[in-house]
Amino acid sequence: GTSVYRRAVFIGGRVPSKYAEEVLWETITDICGNAVHQCVGIVADKFKNSALSNLESQNQWMINLSCQIQAFNSLIKDFYGELPLFKNVAENCLKLANFVNNKTPIRKSFHKYQLREYGHAGLLRVPMKEHEILSFEPVYSMVEDIMSSARVLQLVLLDESYKIVSMEDPIAIEFGEMIRDVGFWNDLEAVRSLVRLVKEMAREFETERPLVGQCLPLWEELRTKVKDWCAKFHISEALVDKVIERRFRKNYHPAWAAAYILDPLYLIKDSSGKYLPPFKLLNHDQEKDVDKLITRLVSREEAHVVLMELMKWRTEGLDPVYAQAVQLKQRDPSTGKMKIANPHGSRLVWETYLPDFRSLGKVAVRLIFLHATARGFKCSSSFLKWVRAHGRSRVGMDKAQKMIFIAAHSKLERRDFTSEEDKDAELFASAQGEDDVLNEVFVDP
């Protein structure tokens, strides 16, 4: 796939799904002209339920996918909204942090021990507004602060100032009970551990850029890791599984199952030595999805033929020598992880070794190299501050479009998606500075 930056739109409030659909289609026609069939599909991190599905239903050749990085980040929000553990931890941490920050003798004692233990002092981060309490990121920052201050909080309980305050303030007694409660710290560690687990997988998606055939195995990997987490922290699996399954269904696309079946990378060796597609790992609905999607991507005349070829693929699979060559892994010297030695092996097999699967091969090559993540331009806080300051006029919006275009294309050309904040801050600061070249582009004459 090709990374293309086309357009950024900033408006107040929610974006209507129909409008997003129009912007996406306009982008496709701008890029492809009359040859819209060249657009295999879209991977996007927003509007996945309506705009993407509407475009796909209107254009049968398209495969429109939601970004798996966004899906996993949304899963963390789901945990916060639906798991009592997360709510209890948030409430207890908020109560603790407010007491430490706002009770003067306790705050002074807290800072004293911070300086002694860590060499610096500061308040615990607390969500400042109601909308921040509803959002998990500010809450997670508070949890991290409390976890990293565990020793200091224990020392505060031994300080004379706490003993005096606890004689008069019942909240101080509750604070002390909380700090001494092993269960409180176990709950914090459970929340932090689960969030880190999901965030780490999302970061790997951003680095590795998984293909669509990897989606089902990745979600299964997540379920396995979460099952281990439940066992470690004595959490009931049922509710957690329910949350994961709901997010999975929101993001699932039939192309996940079809690509998983068609990619030789996932063939499984059976007892007879054959390498067969992993149909046994699909449920009944996913099997039907494979049939429906594959027939949708070919002409009506080819539909019967492609199903016959799919049946042959299911029963015969791939020659073991070729399957082993495709699945061969080697250690990446930069990361130490095992990676596929020949990333293009699957395509080579379908295009050169499997001429009998003429119709199915066209579908396979179209599907198995679709990306499962959107790797686009990130709007940093520096850029958003600039938009808030200059984005109310039409001229300001034109400037914003030009700036984001330059920043996005610069990153795409460098293949550099690190340190966005520092580089963007430099660019957007320059837009208001003395640089004559930038002023010609961004500033009113």
pLDDT tens digit sequence for 362-377: 999 999 989 998 865 5
Average pLDDT score over residue span 400-415 = 51
More confident site: 405 or 194: 194
Q: Is the pLDDT of residue 412 over 60?
A: no
More confident site: 382 or 361: 361
Rounded CA-CA distance 187/185 in Å is 5
pLDDT tens digits for range 382-405 = 555 655 565 555 565 555 555 555
Task: Write down the pTM of the prediction.
Answer: 0.82
pLDDT tens digits for range 219-270 = 999 999 999 999 999 999 999 999 999 999 999 999 999 999 999 999 999 9
Rounded CA-CA distance 319/328 in Å is 14
Residue type, 399: K
pLDDT tens digits for range 39-71 = 888 888 765 578 888 899 898 889 999 999 999
Q: Is the pLDDT of residue 83 over 50?
A: yes
Q: How confident is the model at residue 417 (pLDDT cuts 50, 70, 90)?
A: very low
Q: Is the pLDDT of residue 442 over 60?
A: no
For residue 395, give Cα distances in angstroms to 391, 401, 412, 444, 445: 8, 10, 26, 8, 11
Cβ neighbours of residue 249 closer than 8 Å, sequence gap 6 or more: none
Q: Is the pLDDT of residue 321 over 80?
A: yes
Report pLDDT for 46: 64
pLDDT tens digits for range 286-317 = 999 999 999 999 999 999 999 999 999 999 99
Count the Cβ atoms, other than its own, within 10 Å of residue 142. 23
Average pLDDT score over residue span 68-95 = 95
Q: Is the pLDDT of residue 426 over 90?
A: no
Q: Are 144 and 189 in contact (CB under 8 A)?
A: no
Q: Is the pLDDT of residue 97 over 60?
A: yes
Rounded CA-CA distance 183/176 in Å is 13
Count the Cβ atoms, other than its own, within 10 Å of residue 115. 12
For residue 296, give Cα distances in angstroms to 56, 58, 290, 303, 408: 11, 12, 10, 8, 35
Report pLDDT for 420: 47
Rounded CA-CA distance 185/246 in Å is 29
Instruction: Give me the percent of the chain exceeding a pLDDT of 90.
Output: 61
Report pLDDT for 395: 61
Report pLDDT for 51: 85
Per the structure block, which two tokens stand in for 105? 């003798």
Report pLDDT for 431: 45
Q: Is the pLDDT of residue 441 over 50?
A: no
Q: How confident is the model at residue 131 (pLDDT cuts 50, 70, 90)?
A: low
Pick the closest to residue 229 from 217, 214, 239 (CA basis): 239
Average pLDDT score over residue span 406-416 = 50
Rounded CA-CA distance 357/369 in Å is 18
Beta bridge partners of residue 275, listed in sequence order? 269, 318
Q: Tokens 């984001």, residue?
A: 404
Instruction: Say what angle helices 150-158 and 136-148 make with each other, to 10 degrees.
Output: 60
